[in-house]
Chain A
Amino acid sequence: MNENAREKVMKILRRELKYTSTNLAFNMLISNLQRKLQADPGNMDACMTEMEGFLKKYPIVAKVDLANIAAL
């Protein structure tokens, strides 16, 4: 994940930016991580680790969604 996409993903997790994927699991993950972060804003590193693990596992999501997110 490049720095631009990373910053925007963090904004999405903080609900400062809105992005909806066509991928169900990715939307569910974003929603879960938003709730985790809302409960404890200090959780960002752990949330990003989880996000990166997901994107590594699903390169198709990473390719399409990260490009879309970077363009936000």
Chain B
Amino acid sequence: MLVTLEQAIAMIKEGKPLHIAADETLLDQLPRGNWIGGTTPYFISEEGGIMTKDKLLITEMDFGVEARIAVYGKYNVFQIVEECFDNGLTLLIMPFSSAVAAKYSKEAPDVEELLMHPIIGWISGYDLDLPGEAKVYDGTTGEAYTDKAVVMYIRLPEGKSAMVNMINIFTDDKTDPVIRFPENDLSAGKCTINGQEVNLAEFLVKKGIDPQLPLVADHNGSYINTSIKAVENGVVDFFAPVFKNIEYRFAVPVKDYEEEFLKSVHAAEDRKPVFSCNCIRNFQSADLNGKKILPYVGPVTFGEVAYQLVNQTLVYCEIFG
């Protein structure tokens, strides 16, 4: 729910485990307590999408029986797989452009047992119209970090399970060329397209491909997007890494982004998410400002985590059992 600073302070004092997203000027004023936070001025509230620096979006993470908070750097971020509750949910926030986010994004898919532990989260950001620095907050100490990940581990009652899922409007066309990359990286020059070595930036220009379209990888019917950040000097930079052992294609162009996105949300409106977050590209391209997409309420992000880092998706978690 979207609340004022005074309301947020009162909620923290109640002691429930909380997830808080807001502009840093508000997060800096919060008292210590059982909360984690990340910076963004963009939200999907119950009343619709909104950009505001005057309110905080709070998600009560009180569906568990216990919650613990921890902070990790790039050298130990994968301890989350060992330190999480055996039956729980891990909520992870990392700052945009941080080394810990880069490390997590590149290596998470190779971490053993990653899929055995439901992990959801997001990449914190800032006002796109101003120079900014993304931060995350450990409410127990009140510390803000630009280079660390904050985690809330939630232990679920016996017999309950957390399931992480996503809404993604993109798919591929299996007749389109297959793109492969030589290594796991956040940028690419050379790649192979249908087995032929090609410069990806040149390919984009030559084929007139819209760089707003992500690369998509088909994971047994679940599509994972990798969005393009920039194309400069023959190099394509991505918001999430490409992986050397994965086949990619450019997403099938979407005729009407807003219509497709709202249709996908409508198809999943019977879900009961306990947490959700949505990509800034969806917010912008589907023009979500002022639009309700219930039951999905949460921060608008610079990247989403559904086990691994994903792009241009709405990620959510439900509790079953």
Contact call B307/A28, Cβ cutoff below 8 A: yes
**Is A67 part of the contact surface with B, judged by Cβ < 8 Å?**
no
Chain A residues lying within 8 Å of B109, measured Cβ to Cβ, are 32
Contact call B116/A53, Cβ cutoff below 8 A: yes
Contact call A20/B307, Cβ cutoff below 8 A: no
Contact call B165/A30, Cβ cutoff below 8 A: no
A57 CA / B115 CA spacing, docked (Å): 10
| Interface majority SS (helix, strand, loop, mixed), chain A | helix
B165 to chain A, nearest CB (A): 5
Chain A residues lying within 8 Å of B166, measured Cβ to Cβ, are 24
Most buried by A among B161, B218, B220, B221: B220
Known: A20-B221, A27-B219. A59 touches B161 (CB 8 A): yes
Contact call B115/A54, Cβ cutoff below 8 A: yes
Closest A residue to B308 by beta carbon equals: A28
What interface size band does chain A fall in? 20 to 34
Q: Mark each residue of chain A from 55 to 67: 1 if its CB lies under 8 Å from any CB of chain B, else 0.
A: 0011110000000
Contact call B220/A34, Cβ cutoff below 8 A: yes
Chain A residues lying within 8 Å of B220, measured Cβ to Cβ, are 19-21, 27-28, 30-31, 34
Chain A residues lying within 8 Å of B221, measured Cβ to Cβ, are 20-21, 27
Q: Mark each residue of chain A from 13 to 37: 1 if its CB lies under 8 Å from any CB of chain B, else 0.
A: 0000001111111011111101100
Known: A23-B163, A60-B163. A28 touches B320 (CB 8 A): no
Q: Which chain B residues in 130-178 approach chain A with CB under 8 Å?
A: 161, 163-166
Contact call B115/A23, Cβ cutoff below 8 A: no
Contact call A23/B165, Cβ cutoff below 8 A: yes
Q: Give the contacting residue for A31; candidates B116, B163, B219, B320; CB below 8 A.
A: B219
**Is B222 part of the contact surface with A, judged by Cβ < 8 Å?**
yes
Contact call B165/A24, Cβ cutoff below 8 A: yes
What interface size band does chain B fall in? 10 to 19
Q: Mark each residue of chain B from 214 to 233: 1 if its CB lies under 8 Å from any CB of chain A, else 0.
A: 00001111100000000000
**Is B288 part of the contact surface with A, judged by Cβ < 8 Å?**
no
**Is B193 part of the contact surface with A, judged by Cβ < 8 Å?**
no
Contact call B163/A25, Cβ cutoff below 8 A: yes
**Is B25 part of the contact surface with A, judged by Cβ < 8 Å?**
no
A60 CA / B116 CA spacing, docked (Å): 14
A23 CA / B316 CA spacing, docked (Å): 12
Q: Which chain B residues in 196-226 approach chain A with CB under 8 Å?
A: 218-222
Known: A35-B245, A54-B116, A60-B321. A24 touches B164 (CB 8 A): yes
Closest A residue to B247 by beta carbon equals: A35
**Is B303 part of the contact surface with A, judged by Cβ < 8 Å?**
no
Most buried by B among A20, A24, A57, A60: A24
Contact call A25/B320, Cβ cutoff below 8 A: no
Contact call A28/B115, Cβ cutoff below 8 A: yes
Q: Give the contacting residue for B306; candidates A22, A24, A34, A54; CB below 8 A.
A: A24
A15 to chain B, nearest CB (A): 10
**Is B118 part of the contact surface with A, judged by Cβ < 8 Å?**
yes
A59 to chain B, nearest CB (A): 7
Known: A58-B161, A59-B161, A60-B321. A25 touches B118 (CB 8 A): yes
Chain A residues with CB under 8 Å of chain B are 19-25, 27-32, 34-35, 53-54, 57-60
A-B pairs, top 3 by smallest CB distance, nearest first, are A20-B221, A31-B219, A27-B222
Query: 30 A–B contact pairs at CB < 8 A?
Result: A20-B222, A23-B163, A23-B165, A24-B163, A24-B164, A24-B165, A24-B166, A25-B115, A25-B163, A25-B164, A27-B219, A27-B221, A28-B219, A28-B220, A28-B222, A30-B219, A30-B220, A32-B109, A32-B115, A34-B220, A35-B245, A53-B116, A54-B115, A54-B116, A57-B116, A58-B161, A59-B161, A60-B161, A60-B163, A60-B320
